[in-house]
Amino acid sequence: MRAIAAAKDSPMVPEDAGARPQPAKPGKLLVSARKRLVAALIAGAGRTKPADAARAQAMYECWAQEQEENNQQDHIDCCRFQFFIALAKIDKKAAPPPPAKPKPKAKLSPLIFLVYFGLNSTSLSAQAQSIIATAADVIKSTKPKVGSVTGHTDRSGASTYNAMLAEKWAFRAV
């Protein structure tokens, strides 16, 4: 309901960072994220960018809820990253998402951005270009040490042709 209200430019105040029982006091990052979200919503993000405002609201709630459960670090990280991506779209002053701080010996799940190409084509649609731009923003802001771009095709047609097409897609996406 908060996300729908945010998209209609009549935002409800996001849930306080300490409203959910947390395994510890809510971190400074969650508290400051809420303040920035509230400021963007008050400034009219719901009017100028309703879908992005709704996404930011929903991802904040997701992050707070996952942090409350505190048992799936990859879910917490995903919600947090998605929140900061949406926040950046509604508040140009917003800082990029900080890099994830994994627990000792914790393995972070990779972020996956899917780009689909048309049949027998290496052209990028507007939606594909937007996905690649978002992925580039995340990469620039998180500076991962390792990354991977992979191209896949279906099984119809000759395997040599499909391999060549998949390679072109992967290089086109980069």
Please give the sequence-ordered ranges of beta strands (E in DSSP) within 22-156, or none if there are none.
none
Say yes or no: 164 and 145 in one domain. yes
Q: What is the pLDDT of residues 91-150, one digit of tens each?
A: 865 445 556 666 565 556 677 777 777 777 777 778 878 888 888 888 888 887 777 766
25 — pLDDT class (breaks 50, 70, 90): low
Q: Which of 136, 158, 160 is nearest to 128 (CA)?
A: 136
| 16 token code pair | 């306080």
Instruction: Please tell me the predicted confidence (pLDDT) of residue 148.
Output: 72
Among 54-68, 88-102, 107-121, 160-174, the range with the most confident prediction by mean pLDDT is: 54-68
Comparing 36 with 5, the larger pLDDT belongs to 36
The answer to whether the beta carbons of residues 56 and 83 sit under 8 Å apart is yes
pLDDT at residue 27 above 60? yes
pLDDT at residue 73 above 70? yes
Cα separation, 122 vs 170, in Å, equals: 9
Query: Of 100, 131, 159, which closes a domain?
Result: 100
Say yes or no: 122 and 80 in one domain. no
For residue 102, which amino acid is it?
P
**105 in any annotated domain:** no
First to last CA, the chain: 38
Q: How far is CA 52 from the centre of its chain?
A: 11
Say yes or no: 1 and 61 in one domain. yes
Instruction: Please tell me the predicted confidence (pLDDT) of residue 172.
Output: 63
Q: Which residue has the tokens 């097409």?
A: 165
* Cα distances (angstroms) measured from residue 6 to each of 19, 97, 159: 19, 21, 48
How many domains does the chain divide into?
A: 2
Percent of the chain with pLDDT over 90: 0
CATH number assigned to the domain comprising residue 156:
3.30.1330.60
Cα separation, 24 vs 66, in Å, equals: 13
The answer to whether the beta carbons of residues 3 and 54 sit under 8 Å apart is yes
Cα separation, 11 vs 17, in Å, equals: 17
Query: Of 100, 119, 145, which closes a domain?
Result: 100
Say yes or no: 86 and 128 in one domain. no
The answer to whether the beta carbons of residues 96 and 141 sit under 8 Å apart is yes
What mean pLDDT do residues 49-64 have?
88
